[in-house]
A = this chain, B = another copy of it.
Amino acid sequence: MTPIRENILLHTIRKRPADSFKGTYGHVTLIGGNVNYGGAIIMASSAAVYSGAGLVSTLTDPVNRSSLHSWCPEAMFADFHDQTEVVRLTESADVVVLGPGLGTDALAQQIVQTVFTTVKPRQVLVVDGSAITLVAQQKLQFPDAEIILTPHQMEWQRLSGISIPDQTESANQAAVSRLKATVVLKSHRTEVYTSTGVYQNTTGTPAQATGGMGDTLAGIVGGFVAQFSNHSNAVLAAVYTHSAIADQLAENQYVVLPHQIIQNLPAFMKVHEAK
- Chain A residues with a Cβ under 8 A of chain B: 13, 16-22, 24-25, 35-40, 42-43, 49-56, 62-79, 187-188, 205-207, 209-213, 250-259, 265-270, 273
Contacts and interface: CB of A to CB of B under 8 A. Distances in A.
8 contacts: A16-B207, A20-B209, A36-B76, A38-B77, A52-B255, A64-B69, A66-B70, A253-B266
Contact of A16 (B40, B72, B76, B209): B209
The 10 A-B pairs of least Cβ separation, nearest first, read A39-B73, A254-B269, A16-B206, A67-B69, A253-B266, A52-B255, A70-B70, A66-B66, A254-B270, A74-B212
A40 B211 CA distance: 21
A267 B260 CA distance: 13
A209 B63 contact: no
A268 B255 CA distance: 10
Nearest to A257: B74
A260 B63 CA distance: 26
A33 B258 CA distance: 24
